Amino acid sequence: MKKRVAAALLWFCAAWYAGAMVAYFLGVSVALGPILGTAAAAIVAGDPRGLIWGRPTSRTSSTAKPSTQPSAQPTA
């Protein structure tokens, strides 16, 4: 959880800075920086599709135990 919060904070700062640069060069409102920063931080922290942080895999009993059946490969 600490990594997620730290990543969200870094993305917030980076996107705010990038938004401020874009706003300066395009001559649009300076509010673009905080808006982009908040959006980037929310996407990184929330990770709605599980692409950044991944989802924990569940271990089933069949994958946790080694197989006790003999191998199907013939011996030469």
Taking only the tens place, the pLDDT of each residue in 30-65 is 999 999 999 988 888 887 666 666 766 666 555 555
| Nearest alpha-carbon partner for 23 in 11, 35, 13 | 35
Output the pTM of the full model: 0.62
pLDDT of residue 55: 66
Q: What mean pLDDT is reported for the chain? A: 80
Every domain of the chain and the residues it spans? 2-52
CB 55 within 8 A of CB 38: no
